[in-house]
Amino acid sequence: MSFRPLWRWLSLLALALIVLQLFFVLRIALMARVDPQSTAFERSEAWRLVHEKNRLPWHQQWADYNQISDHLKRAVIASEDDGFAYHDGVDWDALEKAWQKNAKAEALAAQKAAKGVKVVKPPKVVGGSTITQQLAKNLFLSGERTLMRKAQEMVLTFLLEKLLSKRRILELYLNHVEWGEGVFGAEAAARHYFQKPAARLTPLEAARLAVMLPRPKYFEKLPNSTYLSERSEVIAARLWNAELP
């Protein structure tokens, strides 16, 4: 039996992966000076909205780093990634804790299933993703949860950290993160929720936006959520502990 066809196929696959990584390197290097017009996640959301609602409710406006309130920058770091200024793109301690929580949740669900207890929802997956990881995923990747996609996310995360400054990473993140259905970026979020530019957000307003980030569409529909109000006050009190890049 000849292994030549198999080796040829594997060689072509390896070459394709290398070309793909080089493409990502060039795209990210370009982002050091050129603002990306859209992300993979934004394009998928636009497609979904058009097909589900036959319209495109879309709010997005680029704001330079200095046009975004420092309160919002600090609030997002305090809420999403308090080690942002120091880590290499991955918070390994947070990632280990996330794995432990996921394992416990899955084990508990399995125990309930073994006892005949119906598990209505699958165990909640805790991510532990940093701002850089979230940016990598939003810029280039689909929402599927596979080992291959996670591996690509890690590669992109390290490329972002090597090719861009922390300040640029935060600027890109704040301009493309989702803050509601069809609401993307700090400027659009500030105007959508508070009718003011992102530069004029107060500490509590900034904290409120930061707390929305893990579930923006959910909190958009529940503006009077007790959790949202209480957690916002906690983050607002922690703003000055967050170090800006």
pLDDT per residue as tens digits for the range 168-216: 999 999 999 999 999 999 999 999 999 999 999 999 999 999 999 999 9
- Could you tell me if residue 187 is inside a domain? yes
**C-alpha to C-alpha distances, 211 to 46, 77, 87, nearest whole angstrom:** 24, 11, 22
Separation of alpha carbons 71 and 240, rounded Å: 9
Range name among 14-23, 71-80, 119-128, 137-146 with the lowest pLDDT average? 119-128
β-pairing verdict for 183-184 and 59-60:
parallel
Instruction: Provide the token pair at 167.
Output: 């300040």
Which residue reads 């259905």 in tokens? 181
- With vertex at residue 224, the alpha carbon angle to CA 226 and CA 76, rounded to the nearest 5 degrees, is 75
Beta-bridge mates of residue 11: none
- With vertex at residue 188, the alpha carbon angle to CA 226 and CA 230, rounded to the nearest 5 degrees, is 15
Asked if pLDDT for residue 150 goes beyond 80, the answer is yes
This prediction's pTM:
0.86
Range name among 103-112, 156-165, 201-210 with the lowest pLDDT average? 103-112
Separation of alpha carbons 30 and 164, rounded Å: 10
Whole-number percent of the chain with pLDDT over 70: 83
- Could you tell me if residue 119 is inside a domain? no
Contact in structure between 207 and 233 (CB atoms under 8 Å): yes
Contact in structure between 160 and 136 (CB atoms under 8 Å): yes
Name the more confident of 147 and 32.
32
- Could you tell me if residue 2 is inside a domain? no
CATH of the domain at 74: 1.10.3810.10
Domain of 205, in residue numbers:
35-83+165-241
- Could you tell me if residue 203 is inside a domain? yes
Name the more confident of 158 and 55.
158
Q: How confident is the model at residue 123 (pLDDT cuts 50, 70, 90)?
A: very low
* Residue 215 CB-half CA count within 13 A: 9
- Could you tell me if residue 160 is inside a domain? no
Which residue reads 């301690």 in tokens? 93
- Could you tell me if residue 111 is inside a domain? no
Q: How confident is the model at residue 124 (pLDDT cuts 50, 70, 90)?
A: very low
Residues 6+ apart with CB under 8 A from 181: 49, 57, 217, 220
Contact in structure between 214 and 134 (CB atoms under 8 Å): no
Instruction: Provide the token pair at 13.
Output: 């696959």
pLDDT in tens, 15-25: 888 888 999 99
- Could you tell me if residue 192 is inside a domain? yes
- Could you tell me if residue 227 is inside a domain? yes
- Type of residue found at 195: Q
Q: How many domains does the chain have?
A: 1
Contact in structure between 90 and 154 (CB atoms under 8 Å): yes
